[in-house]
Amino acid sequence: MATLPPADSSPGQPLSPEDEEASLDEYDLYSLGHPYVAGGGRKGRTKREAAANTNRPSPGGHERKLVTKFQNSERKKAQR
């Protein structure tokens, strides 16, 4: 099992801006400066594309379930 090297600073104290910049690699800097970081819910799509490809609930509710229950109840009534 690999062990981690000891931390340079105590865990209770925040890093200064200079120390924080030194600890970031190129991928961290890219993530901080990338324009799509805040809009993670759209996965890089425009608002129009995201709105067009969204599952929206049916305004009528659970129509298929209600119709199936009604049909089954009518079928049972006819069998009696």
How many Å from the N-terminal Cα to the C-terminal Cα in the chain? 70
- For residue 78, the model assigns a pLDDT of 93
Is residue 44 a contact partner of residue 50, using CB atoms and an 8 Å limit?
no
**pTM score:** 0.27
Residue 69 lies in a domain: no
Residue 45 lies in a domain: yes
Domain of residue 42 covers 16-53
Residue 48 lies in a domain: yes
Number of domains composing the chain: 1
Q: What are the Cα distances from residue 50, in Å, to 34, 38, 56, 57?
A: 19, 15, 12, 16
Residue 24 and residue 15: Cα distance in Å, rounded? 12
Quick: pLDDT tens for 32-79: 666 654 556 677 888 888 888 877 777 666 788 888 899 999 999 999
Mean pLDDT of 4-20: 63
